């Protein structure tokens, strides 16, 4: 499990401040030690060349960080899109079961299906937020398949409706599989290595610039470290789609229970009014 997962347990505001302060503080300390203990007289005479190299290295490093941000942002959007399609299929299947003509079979199937929906909301999504898989949800999904396969449609309309229900269930299962497989789509350590090394090289190039005013030099390197920290904050925030403040939520599944609660309340009111 990557260290970025543990950093996401920190509230985003505090994590943002932590990343900026860490980048700035490390840059300032490194620059202060360099100016204090390393005296190179040739630095000022080579400032023009060093500045050009620093600009080139900083530009390439900014391009690398931007590329990584685009990758993790694209992965987050793709996962969010799959989760949205899964939710749409879940809502479509709920409506098909709700209005299935055979009320007895529909009621039995609805009980099994709502058990699956409850497991998705109550166990699977919280487990994915902790980088774990659910045990109950696959079993309850299999129960839905089992129950649906034993439906006995008696009219052409029921046959067509059962086919549509199977279509929604297969889509739901497919997009759920894509969702669960994307849980581990974090940035691998080999990608983090050049990012960290690039940060060190970029800050080092800023350190060796011979700036006469010491406080100005420390301020500039602190600003550079802060910007690098901000990039790292964005990457960490987008790296795990089911953890942190940007975590994907099962909104469509929750909507199903909202419909069920509303239907139960309406039915109870009508029963009371009739009596």
Q: Is 87 helix (H, G, I), strand (E, B) or coil?
A: helix
Domain ranges of the chain: 3-274
C-alpha to C-alpha distances, 111 to 15, 139, 148, 194, nearest whole angstrom: 43, 14, 12, 52
Q: How far apart are the first and last CA of the chain?
A: 59
- Give alpha helix (H) positions in 38-98: 47-98
Cα–Cα distance, 80 to 69 (Å, whole number): 16
| 131-160 mean pLDDT | 89
What mean pLDDT comes out for the span 244-253? 86
Q: Is the pLDDT of residue 271 over 50?
A: no
Which region, left, alpha or beta, applies to residue 213 given φ > 0 means left and ψ of -120 to 50 means alpha?
beta
| C-alpha pair distances (Å), 269 with each of 157, 177, 222, 265 | 32, 40, 65, 6
Could you read off the pLDDT of 201-218 as tens digits, one per residue?
999 888 887 777 888 889
257 near 121, Cβ under 8 Å? yes
Query: Once rounded to an integer, what is the mean pLDDT over residues 46-60?
Result: 78
Rounded mean pLDDT of 43-52?
Answer: 65
pLDDT digit string (tens) for 85-98?
Answer: 999 999 999 999 88
pTM exceeding 0.85 = no
- pLDDT value of residue 42: 52
Contact predicate 265/273, CB 8 Å: no
pLDDT exceeds 90 at position 226: yes
Using the predicted structure, report yes or no on whether residue 154 has a pLDDT greater than 60.
Answer: yes
pLDDT tier at 263 (50, 70, 90 boundaries)? very low
The more confident residue out of 240 and 273 is: 240
Q: What is the mean pLDDT of residues 61-90?
A: 91
The arithmetic mean of pLDDT across residues 32-53, rounded, is 71
Which is it for the CA torsion 259, 98, 179, 118, positive or negative?
positive
Instruction: Provide the mean pLDDT of the chain.
Output: 85
Share of the chain above pLDDT 70, in %: 89
Q: Does residue 152 carry a pLDDT above 90?
A: no
């Amino acid at each position: 499990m990557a260290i970025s997962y543990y950093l996401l347990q920190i509230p985003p505001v505090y994590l943002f401040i932590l990343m900026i302060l860490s980048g700035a503080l490390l840059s300032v300390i490194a620059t202060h030690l360099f100016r204090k203990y390393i005296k190179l007289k040739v630095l000022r005479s080579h400032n023009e060349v060093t500045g050009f190299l620093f600009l080139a290295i900083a530009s390439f490093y900014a391009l690398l960080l931007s590329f990584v941000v685009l990758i993790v942002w694209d992965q987050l959007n793709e996962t969010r899109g799959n989760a949205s399609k899964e939710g749409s299929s879940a809502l479509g299947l709920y409506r098909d079961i709700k209005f299935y003509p055979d009320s007895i079979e529909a009621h039995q199937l609805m009980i099994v299906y709502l058990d699956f929906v409850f497991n998705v909301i109550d166990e699977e999504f919280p487990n994915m937020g902790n980088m774990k898989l659910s045990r109950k949800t696959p079993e309850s999904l299999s129960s839905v398949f089992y129950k649906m396969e034993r439906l006995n449609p008696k009219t052409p309309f029921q046959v067509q409706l059962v086919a549509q229900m199977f279509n929604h269930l297969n889509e739901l299962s497919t997009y759920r599989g894509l969702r669960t497989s994307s849980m581990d789509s974090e940035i691998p350590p080999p990608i983090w290595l050049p990012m960290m090394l690039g940060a060190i090289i970029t800050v080092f190039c800023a350190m060796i610039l011979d700036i006469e005013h010491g406080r100005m030099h420390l301020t500039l390197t602190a600003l550079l470290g802060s910007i690098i920290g901000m990039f790292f904050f964005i990457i960490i925030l987008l790296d795990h789609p089911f953890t942190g403040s940007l975590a994907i939520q099962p909104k469509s599944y929750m909507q199903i229970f909202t419909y069920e609660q509303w239907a139960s309340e309406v039915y109870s009111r009508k029963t009371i009014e009739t009596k």
